Amino acid sequence: MPKKSSKDLIIDAAEAVVMEKGAAHMSLDMVARKAGVSKGGLMYHFPNKEALLKDMVDRLVAEFYIERTEKLQGLKETKGRGLKSCVMATLDPNEKRDRMALSILAAAAQAPILLDPLRVAHKEHLSELMASGLPFERAAIVSLASDGLMFLELLHLTPFNKGQRSMILKEMIRLIESMESEKE
């Protein structure tokens, strides 16, 4: 495994601070201490909190696309392949992604404009759904349900146990497959 850059180590530390202290309490001083760098060293890469949060969100989006691409490679060519890969990438257990998703909360608390990369990603996903050939409304409901479950879990608000969660994920995939087999 290649050695992480100083910038990546700082982002890792920022994510850890968000997990430990909460998004509203993240400070550059805390992140510098957690990363084991001076505040000046941190500020060399991130001149302010917004720059750090922007890179946290950018990394979240990039990691999601990597995971989604990995899921796509294991699926056969069907109309619902893209939606299946999104649902799987969103809901398959992934501690790192969950940590990174906390960056969303940190960014939103600091400056909502920092969520622009996520807005772009969601617009791209919407375009893919519309072009997939699946019934748009039903495909959108599956997509929204997977995002909603992910956020409930992220915020530790989910009422579902592991068995129920597994059944929900299987039903989402089943719904996508039933849309694939519908006559146009």
pLDDT digits (tens, 9 = 90+) for 8-26: 999 999 988 988 887 778 8
User: Is the pLDDT at 183 greater than 70, yes or no?
Assistant: no
Residue 151's alpha-carbon distances to 27, 48, 57, 144, 147, in angstroms, are 24, 27, 15, 11, 6
pTM, entire model: 0.83
Q: What is the CATH number of domain 53-180?
A: 1.10.357
Between the two ends of the chain, the Cα-to-Cα distance in Å is: 47
Tens digits of per-residue pLDDT, 68-98? Answer: 999 999 999 999 999 999 999 999 887 777 7
Q: Where along the chain do its domains lie?
A: 53-180
Please state, for a pLDDT cut of 90, what percent of the chain lies above it.
Answer: 60
